[in-house]
Amino acid sequence: MTLPSEAPRDPSRRRLVNRLLGGSFGALFAWILYPVLRFLEPVEVVEAAANQVEAGRADDPDLVANGFKIVPFGNDPVILVQTPEGEHRAFSATCTHLDCIVEYRPDRGLIWCNCHNGQFDLSGQVVGGPPPRPLRPYRVHAVEAEAGGAATLVIEKV
């Protein structure tokens, strides 16, 4: 005679519960482990393979309308400025104070960091605010188009 508590259990039901529990623990483990592993994995640093990048055409609407544009140069953003005289200059766009991205203010004739009102002249020198060092300069040269269109601007490490 078998007691009710000793009644044979349904093995397929037990297997199903075990699988559900195992899957839940596996999902929980992955949910916790994945961000930890992503955090510990070193970030891949992509350096500019070359010493120069193309910055687009000299008649780029953004450049003409705003007087500047930000150009990616490997991991460094570079600010390409078109002066009121039409000259092109380029500097690291990373402020030397606390690494905010600078912008060109044509109304003030200077490169400006809106984080703490850092100000640089069009030679990259600090003229106001807390930045401790000038902006790193880049060389800009124009490659004339073959068909007579606008030249292509190329930014180069100095």
The residues that touch ligand FES, with contacts defined as CB under 6 A, are: 95, 97-98, 100, 113, 115-116, 118, 129-131
**Minimum distance of ligand FES from residue 86's CB (angstroms):** 27
- How far from 89 is each of 32, 41, 111, 121, 134, CA to CA, in Å? 48, 38, 11, 11, 14
Question: Among residues 116 and 133, whose Cβ is nearest to ligand FES?
Answer: 116
Q: What is the DSSP letter of 93?
A: -
For the bound state, the minimum distance from the C-beta of residue 81 to ligand FES, rounded and expressed in Å, comes to 17
Query: Residue 84 CB, nearest distance to ligand FES (Å)?
Result: 24
- Nearer to ligand FES among residue 73 and residue 112 (C-beta): 112
- Which run of H or E residues covers position 55? strand 52-57
As a 3-state breakdown, the chain gives helix, strand, coil percent values, each rounded to 5, of: 25, 35, 40
Is the CB of 85 or the CB of 99 nearer to ligand FES? 99
